[in-house]
Amino acid sequence: MAEDEKPIFALIVGGGPIGITTALALARFGYRSLVLERHAERLGQPKAHFLNSRTLEIYRQLGLDMSPLRKCGLQPDEADAVRFVSSMTGVEFGFIDFRQNEDQVISPEVPFNVAQPYLEDVLLSAALATGKVEYRRMYEWKDCTESVEGLILSEVLRRTPNTTITIKSKYLIACDGANSRAREKLDIKFGPALGGQQEILHYASVHFSADLSHLRTGVLWFVLNRDKMGVLIAYDRAKSWVFFHPYNPELTPKATLTSEYFRGLVFEAIGYGPADYRELGITIWTTSPRLAETYRSPKLRNAFLAGDAAHSFPPTGGLGVNSGVADVQNLAWKIHAVEEGWVRPTFIDDLSTERRPVALANARQSKINEGKIFRLASAIFKGGSKPEELMADPASRLRIQEAIDDNWEHFQAPNLQLGYVYGRDYIRGPADYIKELVPGARLAHYWLSLQGRQVSSLDLISGDKFVLMTPEGFTELKEFTVVETPVVVQQLTRDFEDIDGSWAAFMAQAEPASSVLVRPDQHIVGLVDSIEAATSMLSAYLQSAN
């Protein structure tokens, strides 16, 4: 067995968006990583399509310019609605407004829709540009052990030529998806997120090209008929679409899911057969709400999970990639804290403590969303009438609209995306986001002025240090140290300005405290009224897992 050249800081298993984001986040702290991807080429289907505000805030903190990516995705005026129809050209039962945070009140970043391959291209370009990241295709991670020096020795199959090599790394981060081989080898259990028997959900999808830009705008089209249901996803209304539907393999054997089968379903879902229809790929897949028992290996303490390797959700809510990006942010700064000597290695145990409850809430909401969609289909066809007859009847129309309204939180869930508080259960519904000044909450977004530029309050948290945000005249210090941990002071008027008084009004909620201590990942440590109190609070926090 050959050995790779020299030990690396982090070996990342899985070259999708979460693996690349991990490499980018570590590179920002100056750490080198090697990303291994077992496939020779990217898988064909566009997959994930929705980037929520929190994900974009994290990429913003990593220094990514998202404007080129926004141009690749559906424009806001095209991604304006989720439609419930008998077909794209048939009866519309109703719609839900999909526009989100366009006034940028709750976040500096407006969510948008873009195909996963475009996201991966932007992420990989940014990661490689750091000079700290190497990306290898056709390298399959097999197993690992620990050396006497404490390094992780990974056995890797290099497909060209077909040889097995050993790669040494200080850290191993598994981002290799729901069917993660690394998770299994790291002795991490992966079971039903919601308890009970594991429910396997079967889906079949086709990626196709057709120009449907002349039809009504929308990002998702739920095609509901008496005997079947499917979803059309618009990635590019002029050329790139996916149609997927749940199926029962006992009633519809996998062998029957052919090009002809999908061609018929797609034409039925559209309402006619586009002359320019071209199949780009078929994917048969399964999923279920599953959750890892821990995100840190009990076998190798410097091995971790992130993304779908740690949690798996039904495709109802757009929560998979978005959850994974937040996993990475949480893990990366804690690794940096250990490497800088701010904390002991046990501090990273908090990764599981903080991120598992978020994944559990997301799994629960995905399952709720799925159930509401099926109940909507039942509500529409209760009574047996045709779609046209149903919509002509006031009582039926009211029943259908109520069922559609019940799906609102599926597509408008800012509290699920922004309102999770580490160390506390969700106390409001998915749509009911409220800006809070409590430990564990994400720092609220307000527009401020910094050296004449409009910035978000979140932009004052650079990602590599703790930050104390204070009122005017609080201290003469611009930075101080707690247990060898640097803390930057951001003081009103001296360092930034409150554009319209909204920041000061928000901070007034902290009384009798006046300042907020914020972690590198933009989550709040706590509220204080003096430098001494901040020092004491941060010292206790850094030693909490020691």
Question: At 387, which amino acid appears?
Answer: P
CB atoms within 10 A of CB 473: 10
- Residue 451 in 3-state DSSP? coil
pLDDT of residue 74: 84
Residue scoring higher pLDDT (314 or 224): 224
Q: What is the DSSP letter of 243?
A: E
Question: For a pLDDT cut of 90, what percent of the chain falls above it?
Answer: 79
Least confident of 116-120, 274-278, 502-506, 539-543: 116-120
Q: Decide if 480 is inside a domain.
A: yes
pLDDT of residue 5: 64
Mean pLDDT throughout 162-180?
Answer: 96
Confidence of residue 316 (pLDDT cuts 50, 70, 90): confident
| Residues 349 and 455 occupy one common structural domain | no
Residue 154 and residue 167 in contact, taking contact as beta carbons nearer than 8 Å: yes
Q: Decide if 317 is inside a domain.
A: yes
Domain with residue 13: its CATH number is 3.50.50.60
Q: Decide if 164 is inside a domain.
A: yes
Tokens of 320: 């998979």
The H or E element spanning position 280 is: strand 278-287
Listed residues 353, 369, 389: the one ending a domain: 353
Residue 313 and residue 319 in contact, taking contact as beta carbons nearer than 8 Å: yes
The H or E element spanning position 189 is: none
CA distance 61 to 305: 22
Is a pLDDT exceeding 90 seen at residue 166? Answer: yes
Q: Decide if 258 is inside a domain.
A: no
Residue scoring higher pLDDT (524 or 381): 524
Listed residues 353, 380, 408: the one ending a domain: 353
Q: Decide if 375 is inside a domain.
A: no
pLDDT of residue 4: 60
Least confident of 32-46, 233-247, 421-435: 32-46
The structure's pTM equals 0.96
Average per-residue pLDDT in the chain? 93
Mean pLDDT throughout 169-194?
Answer: 96
| Residues 340 and 448 occupy one common structural domain | no
pLDDT of residue 76: 85
Q: Decide if 329 is inside a domain.
A: yes
Number of domains in the chain: 2
Distant-in-sequence contacts of 341-344, Cβ < 8 A, 24+ apart: 341/484, 342/483, 342/484, 342/485, 342/542, 343/542, 343/543, 343/545, 343/546, 344/545, 344/546
| Residues 17 and 136 occupy one common structural domain | yes
In 15-159, at which residue ranges do the beta strands (DSSP E only) sit? Answer: 33-37, 50-51, 81-85, 92-97, 112-113, 133-137, 139-146, 152-158
Listed residues 326, 353, 380: the one ending a domain: 353
| Residues 175 and 317 occupy one common structural domain | yes
Residue owning tokens 């204070």? 470
Confidence of residue 3 (pLDDT cuts 50, 70, 90): low
pLDDT of residue 2: 61
Question: At 117, which amino acid appears?
Answer: P
Tens-digit pLDDT profile for residues 446-493: 999 999 999 999 999 999 999 999 999 999 999 999 989 999 999 999
Tokens of 21: 């984001």
Q: Decide if 201 is inside a domain.
A: no
Least confident of 112-126, 134-148, 273-287, 368-382: 368-382
pLDDT of residue 100: 79
Is a pLDDT exceeding 90 seen at residue 72? Answer: no
DSSP notation for 347-406: GGGHHHHHHHHHHHHHHHHHHHHHHHHHHHHHHHTTT---HHHHHHSHHHHHHHHHHHHT
Confidence of residue 495 (pLDDT cuts 50, 70, 90): very high
CA distance 185 to 140: 14
Give the sheet arrangement for strand 278-287, strand by strand. Answer: 92-97, 81-85, 220-224, 229-236, 240-246, 201-209, 278-287
Is a pLDDT exceeding 60 seen at residue 546? Answer: no
CB-hemisphere CA count at 13 Å for 531? 15
Of 136, 135, 138, 115, the closest CA to residue 127 belongs to 135
| Residues 171 and 306 occupy one common structural domain | yes
pLDDT of residue 71: 87
- What's the Rg (C-alpha) of the chain? 25
Mean pLDDT throughout 297-307?
Answer: 97
| Residues 27 and 144 occupy one common structural domain | yes
Question: At 60, which amino acid appears?
Answer: R
Question: For a pLDDT cut of 70, what percent of the chain falls above it?
Answer: 98
Confidence of residue 136 (pLDDT cuts 50, 70, 90): very high
Domain with residue 467: its CATH number is 3.40.30.120
- Strand partners for 448: 455, 498
Tens-digit pLDDT profile for residues 252-271: 999 999 999 999 999 999 99
Confidence of residue 68 (pLDDT cuts 50, 70, 90): confident
Residue 312 and residue 290 in contact, taking contact as beta carbons nearer than 8 Å: yes
Q: Decide if 305 is inside a domain.
A: yes
Q: How would you label 517-531 residue by residue, b for 16+ Cβ within 10 Å and e otherwise?
A: bbbbbbbbbbbbeeb
Domain of residue 327, residue span: 8-73+114-195+290-353
For 428, counting Cβ atoms within 10 Å of its Cβ (0-12 exposed, 13-18 middle, 19+ buried), the class is: exposed
